[in-house]
Amino acid sequence: MLAWFTAPLLAWGALTTFAGAQTSSPSRPAVEREKLDAALRNAGKIGVLIASHGDIDDYEKELESYIKVSFQRNPGIPLPDWSRGILTGPAYSLSVNLVRNQYKIIGPTRYRESSEAQRQAIDRALAARGIDAKTYVGFNFTTPYIDEALEEMIADGVDTVIVFNKGAQFSYASSGENMEDALKYLNKKYPKNLRVIGYRQYSDDARFRQLMATVLQNDVEKFFPDVSANRVCLLVATHGLPVWLIEKGDPAITQMKEAVADIQKRLPQYRIYHGFLNDDFFPGAKWVKPTARELAEQMEKDRCEHILMDGRVSFTSHHRATLYDLNTEVRGFFETPPGPRETARAAYWRRPNVVLAPNFDGDEGYANLIADLSMEAVAGVGPVVTLQETGKRPLPVGSVGKPGVKPF
């Protein structure tokens, strides 16, 4: 979320493992075992890269770099590259105190630690399938950067790379940005013996949606035992986007809405609310609605007594967005009694039982999903794009993640 909060400166300038089985989903054909085996034999050593914007732990040491790098690189900010260097200082000055105060409240996000747990879980899932593969972590705006992860892969003798976003959807400012960072490295270094595959999104995969329904059901049973389903509400909060980016053709919000609608069909016994976590700290930019905070007001009016807040549809590890925007601001609204002038609210307010769901991190179901998608991607199955074929030049920078360029 951090990377997009500077955009308003324009105001002034049942999941199954793959082994032995065929898989299918609304957008995925079944994979023939012989085709898969042949592709895996030819792939050599596989490197699975899970990438995202990243997050920080030590705001005293890391915050300045994180803000400045995110402002300079994020395609979600509608500014030409030549202007970003000029505006980086003002962007940092405008945002640093606000963001620093948020980190003071939530403390270390442990995002790298969570990503490492995720990496290890995917490694175990790949090993269980007998695949010569290793998982790596790379970020856009903080260490380890994506180009550092690619350097590590090359040093490890990786032949085939698969680039995943840690969130399920494709956005210019998520999967697209990850693939663009990879293309910048590939075009600069040209490691000609490397094959690099970008995985666009898995939000529409039935296995992901069933996984979401399963973990939500399990968490409700864990945190609200002996509570009837009609007394439980789920607040599914996903990553927001500036409206201008959506108007450029960014499909992430549509993908999120469709995923949540599908989850609601799988869990009809619960009331599910879907809102966005927006970094709309400055005036001048329109963001997608409704926000999670706005939905909280409706949920309170709807007498939600037991509330599970979840971010896994688009955040697979907890981030400042979920830890502050959701677990601090939204939770604070739910749990704060009405003030003396809030007479209407006082008539129906009751302190609810509010829980922030865990994230995927080392979750075996999520790791199995990524392992299966990785195997399929090697065989060319799924929404994949070849960023570089072995022995050939990579795609040009700007061809897969530039706002306005049709995303595949």
What is the pLDDT at residue 5? 34
What is the pLDDT at residue 24? 41
Q: How many CB atoms lie within 10 A of CB 311?
A: 27
pLDDT band at 117 (very low <50, low <70, confident <90, very high): very high
Same domain, 384 and 289: no
Same domain, 117 and 15: yes
Instruction: Please state, in angstroms and as integers, the Cα–Cα distance from residue 362 to each residue in 15, 51, 146, following that order.
Output: 16, 16, 21
Instruction: Please state, in angstroms and as integers, the Cα–Cα distance from residue 296 to each residue in 216, 256, 357, following that order.
Output: 19, 19, 16
What is the pLDDT at residue 404? 87
Query: What is the secondary structure of 267-278 as a DSSP string?
Result: -TTSEEEEEEE-
Query: Two tokens at 325?
Result: 């925007």
Same domain, 377 and 307: no
Q: Which stretch of DSSP H or E encloses residue 261?
A: helix 252-266
Q: Cα separation of 179 and 163, whole Å?
A: 7
Q: Cα separation of 1 and 373, whole Å?
A: 26
Is residue 78 one of the residues assigned to a domain?
no
Query: Two tokens at 90?
Result: 């003002």
Same domain, 236 and 265: yes
Is residue 176 one of the residues assigned to a domain?
yes
List Cβ neighbours of 10 (8 Å cut-off, separation of 6 or more): 78, 79, 284, 285
End-to-end CA gap in the chain: 24
Is residue 167 one of the residues assigned to a domain?
yes
Q: 188-201: per-residue pLDDT in tens?
A: 999 999 999 999 99
What is the pLDDT at residue 255? 98
Note the maximum CA span of the chain.
71
- Res 218 pLDDT > 50: yes
Same domain, 121 and 199: yes
List Cβ neighbours of 363 (8 Å cut-off, separation of 6 or more): 121, 215
- Res 15 pLDDT > 70: no
What is the pLDDT at residue 75? 82
Q: 388-408: per-residue pLDDT in tens?
A: 999 999 999 999 999 988 866
Same domain, 179 and 324: no
Same domain, 213 and 341: yes
Is residue 84 one of the residues assigned to a domain?
no
Type of residue found at 27 = S
Query: Two tokens at 267?
Result: 């869990």
Residue that has been written with the tokens 């000029």 in this structure: 86
Q: Cα separation of 204 and 182, whole Å?
A: 24
Same domain, 160 and 178: yes
Same domain, 193 and 212: no
Closest CA to 196 of 393, 367, 37, 30: 393
- Res 271 pLDDT > 50: yes
Is residue 75 one of the residues assigned to a domain?
no
Give me the CATH number covering residue 23: 3.40.50.1400
Q: Cα separation of 138 and 115, whole Å?
A: 9
- Res 13 pLDDT > 70: no
Is residue 100 one of the residues assigned to a domain?
no
Same domain, 133 and 185: yes
45-49, 109-113, 141-145, 403-407: range with lowest mean pLDDT = 403-407
Same domain, 126 and 227: no
**Domain coverage including residue 322:** 206-356
Instruction: Give mean pLDDT, residues 61-76.
Output: 90
Model confidence, pTM: 0.91
Q: 300-351: per-residue pLDDT in tens?
A: 999 999 999 999 999 999 999 999 999 999 999 999 999 999 999 998 899 9
Is residue 79 one of the residues assigned to a domain?
no
pLDDT band at 67 (very low <50, low <70, confident <90, very high): very high
What is the pLDDT at residue 407? 65
Type of residue found at 233 = C
Same domain, 239 and 143: no
Q: How many residues does the chain have?
A: 408
**Which of 8-17, 31-40, 155-164 has the highest mean predicted lDDT (pLDDT)?**
155-164
What is the pLDDT at residue 202? 97
- Res 270 pLDDT > 90: yes
Is residue 170 one of the residues assigned to a domain?
yes
Q: Cα separation of 56 and 100, whole Å?
A: 11
234: β partners: 272, 308
Instruction: Please state, in angstroms and as integers, the Cα–Cα distance from residue 220 to each residue in 90, 224, 396, following that order.
Output: 44, 5, 46
Number of domains in the chain: 2
- 284 class by beta-carbon count within 10 Å (0-12 exposed, 13-18 middle, 19+ buried): exposed
